[in-house]
Amino acid sequence: MHKIRQQIEEMTNQINLNLHRIDSKTLSLIDALMAFSTKENDYFGISKAHLYLGIVDVEKGNVNDGISQYIMALSYTFYEGLEALRPPVLNNLGVAQNIIGNHVAAIEHLSNAKNIINRYQVRLDLLPIIHGNIADAYLGIHQPEKALEYLDKVNEGIALLDYDKAYLILANYAEAYLQLKSPEKAFNYILWCEEVLNNRKYFSYLSYVDYLKAKYFELLHAYEDVEIFYKKAIDNQIKDSQLFYYPKISSDYMSFLMDHQKYEACVPFIKRSLELAKINHWDFIYSEYYSYLSECYRALSEWELAFNAINLYFEHNNKNKERLNQYQLNLLNAQESLMRLEIKNNMLTQSIENMKVVNNILKKINAVHNLNDLVKDLYIELKNIFEIDTFTIGLLEAEERKITYIAKYENDVYLGTSQIDYDNDKSFSVWAKNNLMPVIIHNADDFDYIKTHYAAIKLSREDYIKKGNYSKSIVIWPLMIEDEMIGLINIQALKEHAYNTYDLELIEMLSAHLAIALINNKQRNELNHMIEKLNELSFIDSLTGIYNRQAFNEFLPSLYKEAIDLKQNLVFAMIDLDNFKALNDAFGHQEGDLCLQQFGDLLKDVVGNLGYSYRYGGDEFSVLFMGIELEVVDSILEEICQKSSKMYTLDPHLTVSASIGAVFIENGDCADLQMRSFISYADNALYIAKSEGKNTYRRVIV
């Protein structure tokens, strides 16, 4: 066994010497390590091989594949004696999560690595690197004070100028002070970082310094300099083929261009960045790029392109969430492996069974579409784990200043929804919201304990006297996204001390996943609303505000069929504006547009929700009525005709009015009539109206 481990260590040393360049030799060495370690069933070697494969994937830009390899590597470090392997794997996992913008997960992995180092006193050499990476993660969620705290720990632990990664620490100091809006301090660190890079001839990182300069000049509102340094940073990244920071720099540059309404310049840059993302397998950045692209097209009124872009955003965003959910499941499986290896008593064994149930319900949580169904599913599943007599999920409604419990189950009975005011000083839920902390009560009859630990709750002993069955064990856990609380989970049981330490850990884990699922559900609803809005805008005539020809072609066939099938009254009118061409010729298209706008307003005012108004094309309009009394429709068309004669007059000899031709069908009695013929009847009626004189209304009854 000793000889096998010695041979594996020799193989890893050889890989370490070649890992700075990813070539066929390096890959062959890793393959050989994996094959040999698998054959000998050596978990140390297998873990190292997965770690190396993860590094290779991340270096090539396949960050998602790299994360999967790191999780595999992590699962093998749970075997006894391999604790020293865990910190570097967790560190690399944290770095990869930072790259794809999952900074909260990065902080969790990196903090775990730090705790293992301190607990087992292994790999102490990694602490400065881990502290630097934690600082980087805090910068990603815009917490510069926490970032500076960890950067100072790096500074305290090593001689900074002797540290080979000193430029990374200096750059993070600069970014922290930029976020704190302290340009002078930031610029000092930028110049120091630049000096270190030039002295050590690390020229490839200078493009990131240019990016920091762009952010510095943005603080000073020197926008020409901002653009110069953004372009320089991006061009140097591409020229040197050092694209590690390209997603971050490009995303910020897109944001800058859009903030300054440079949409036409932003679109080609986004397209160029999408091509680079495809070449380099940056799956994690697609959704962000397409989001920016959709916003640009919307600003440019390119509705179809905006619609396509938002669909692609939605598609890639869902893929990212699926990957994230899979990572979470894999990590839970890894945690389960660790728990199995450390089983000491029956309580821990039960905790593993709980973990299995959580794995089963995670899919339901992450696939949530209906929140009421989710509450019911969780209530049923969690009853298999521990005592639950009351279960509900609450959402914070900041504008209404209320906590809304979306569904409540008590003793298997659905009790509907309820709300609690933020000002309710007798509510444990409000206490949890105000303090961003869980409420944990093991015995509700212990009033002295409650008054000591939850003193802000204005309960008297008389308020608290209860009769009959009531909850003795109460757990209310905040649902947190980063530092923001979005809701809470409320679990109660009739018996005392229903929840042990492992139950509470499980509730905490469940709350973390539930918070992500609720945010995903909210974003999905917002995206669906945006897509509906874009759909609506694509069918609206931008000049008149009524439906356009595209909407006419899209909707009319189904509306016509519906009216016929339901035996409804059906009226279709064609409208042509009299003297409109003369108006355009005499006064120009601007006046013509104003005239069309006014007629669109007239249709909206007179027709309203009783019918469907379309701009058919040019100065031609149409209106469809379904299920309305024919006498009412007749009077509406007469009113349009009359009001149009006074609608737009610039010259006493030039008055714009409307001529109308309509076809009336009573009770949908025209099953054999094709829609094309139906429209032709209205067209012919309009022809008759125009030939008999302007501002005339004629109808045909079929």
Which of residues 490, 525, 560 is at a domain's end?
525
Query: What is the rounded distance in angstroms from the CA atom of residue 112 to the CA atom of residue 180?
Result: 28
558: tokens are: 């189904």
Same domain for 423 and 479, yes or no, is: yes
Q: 21: how many CB neighbours lie within 10 A of its CB? A: 8
Per-residue confidence (pLDDT) for residue 655, from 0 to 100: 86
3-state secondary structure of 178: helix
Question: Which residues, in sequence order, are CB contacts of 394 under 8 Å at separation 6+?
Answer: 403, 404, 405, 406, 420, 429, 487, 488, 489, 490
CB of 334 closer than 8 Å to CB of 75: yes
CA-CA distances (angstroms) from residue 15 to 4, 29, 52, 56, 65?
17, 6, 8, 11, 20
Of residues 534 and 231, the one with the higher pLDDT is: 231
Question: Which residues, in sequence order, are CB contacts of 99 under 8 Å at separation 6+?
Answer: 58, 63, 247, 284
For residue 482, pLDDT over 80 is answered with no
Q: How confident is the model at residue 327 (pLDDT cuts 50, 70, 90)?
A: low
Q: 460: how many CB neighbours lie within 10 A of its CB? A: 10
Of residues 666 and 513, the one with the higher pLDDT is: 666
Of 220-234, 325-339, 522-536, where does mean pLDDT reach its minimum?
325-339
Query: What is the rounded distance in angstroms from the CA atom of residue 505 to the CA atom of residue 508?
Result: 5
Query: What is the rounded distance in angstroms from the CA atom of residue 246 to the CA atom of residue 373?
Result: 42
Side chain identity at residue 539, one-letter code: F
Q: 676: how many CB neighbours lie within 10 A of its CB? A: 7
Instruction: Give the model confidence (pLDDT) of 44-86 as tens digits.
Output: 999 999 999 999 988 887 888 888 888 888 878 866 578 788 8
**Active-site residue identified among 57, 210, 576, 619:** 619
Which residue from 501, 469, 474, 472 is spatially nearest to 489, judged by alpha carbons? 474
Mean pLDDT (whole number) for 332-339: 53
Of the ranges 300-309, 332-341, 373-382, 521-530, the best mean pLDDT one:
300-309
Instruction: Give the model confidence (pLDDT) of 243-296 as tens digits.
Output: 888 999 999 999 999 999 999 999 999 999 999 999 988 888 898 999 999 999
Cα–Cα–Cα angle for 509, 515, 521, rounded to 5 degrees: 140
Which of residues 491, 525, 559 is at a domain's end?
525
In the residue annotation, 619 being an active-site residue is answered as yes
CB of 593 closer than 8 Å to CB of 541: no
- Domain presence at residue 619: yes
Which residue from 444, 397, 447 is spatially nearest to 421, judged by alpha carbons? 397
Same domain for 646 and 697, yes or no, is: yes
CB of 341 closer than 8 Å to CB of 352: no
Which of residues 493, 525, 557 is at a domain's end?
525
For residue 338, pLDDT over 60 is answered with no
Query: What is the rounded distance in angstroms from the CA atom of residue 263 to the CA atom of residue 266?
Result: 5
- Domain presence at residue 294: no
For residue 496, pLDDT over 60 is answered with yes
Q: The pTM is what?
A: 0.52
Same domain for 396 and 510, yes or no, is: yes
> Residue 680 is part of a domain; what is its CATH number?
3.30.70.270
283: tokens are: 């799956």
- Domain presence at residue 94: no
Per-residue confidence (pLDDT) for residue 512, from 0 to 100: 78
- Domain presence at residue 147: no
Instruction: Give the model confidence (pLDDT) of 110-167 as tens digits.
Output: 998 998 898 888 889 899 999 999 999 999 999 999 999 999 999 887 777 777 888 9
Strand ranges for 458-588 from DSSP E: 473-481, 484-493, 570-578
- Domain presence at residue 368: yes
Mean pLDDT (whole number) for 340-368: 52
Same domain for 394 and 348, yes or no, is: yes
Same domain for 443 and 390, yes or no, is: yes
CA-CA distances (angstroms) from residue 561 to 286, 288, 476, 558, 662?
42, 42, 54, 5, 18
What backbone phi and psi angles, to 5 degrees, belong to 325? -65, -40
CB of 133 closer than 8 Å to CB of 91: yes
Same domain for 519 and 556, yes or no, is: no
Structure letter (DSSP) for residue 702:
-
Same domain for 430 and 572, yes or no, is: no
- Domain presence at residue 247: no
- Domain presence at residue 206: no
Q: What percent of the chain has pLDDT over 90?
A: 44
Same domain for 509 and 643, yes or no, is: no
Per-residue confidence (pLDDT) for residue 333, from 0 to 100: 58
Same domain for 576 and 649, yes or no, is: yes
Query: What is the rounded distance in angstroms from the CA atom of residue 485 to the CA atom of residue 478?
Result: 6
Per-residue confidence (pLDDT) for residue 84, from 0 to 100: 86
How many domains does the chain contain in total?
Answer: 2
Same domain for 504 and 573, yes or no, is: no
Per-residue confidence (pLDDT) for residue 538, from 0 to 100: 76
Q: How confident is the model at residue 344 (pLDDT cuts 50, 70, 90)?
A: very low
Same domain for 509 and 578, yes or no, is: no
Query: What is the rounded distance in angstroms from the CA atom of residue 210 to the CA atom of residue 242?
Result: 14
Instruction: Give the model confidence (pLDDT) of 415-465 as tens digits.
Output: 888 899 999 988 899 999 999 999 999 988 888 888 888 888 887 766 655
Handedness of CA 180, 182, 188, 191 (dihedral sign): positive
Query: What is the rounded distance in angstroms from the CA atom of residue 522 to the CA atom of residue 374?
Result: 14
CA-CA distances (angstroms) from residue 50 to 27, 83, 127, 282, 474?
12, 16, 22, 21, 44
Q: Name beta bridge partners: 621.
A: 575, 615
Per-residue confidence (pLDDT) for residue 504, from 0 to 100: 84
Q: Beta strand 402-410 with 473-481: parallel, antiparallel or unpaired? A: unpaired
> Residue 389 is part of a domain; what is its CATH number?
3.30.450.40
For residue 611, pLDDT over 60 is answered with yes
For residue 12, pLDDT over 80 is answered with yes
Mean pLDDT (whole number) for 599-621: 93
Q: How confident is the model at residue 349 (pLDDT cuts 50, 70, 90)?
A: very low
- Domain presence at residue 430: yes
Same domain for 519 and 562, yes or no, is: no
For residue 472, pLDDT over 60 is answered with yes
Structural domain containing residue 453: 343-525
For residue 474, pLDDT over 90 is answered with yes
Mean pLDDT (whole number) for 35-41: 89
CB of 539 closer than 8 Å to CB of 550: yes
CA-CA distances (angstroms) from residue 630 to 256, 383, 697?
57, 61, 15
Per-residue confidence (pLDDT) for residue 615, from 0 to 100: 93
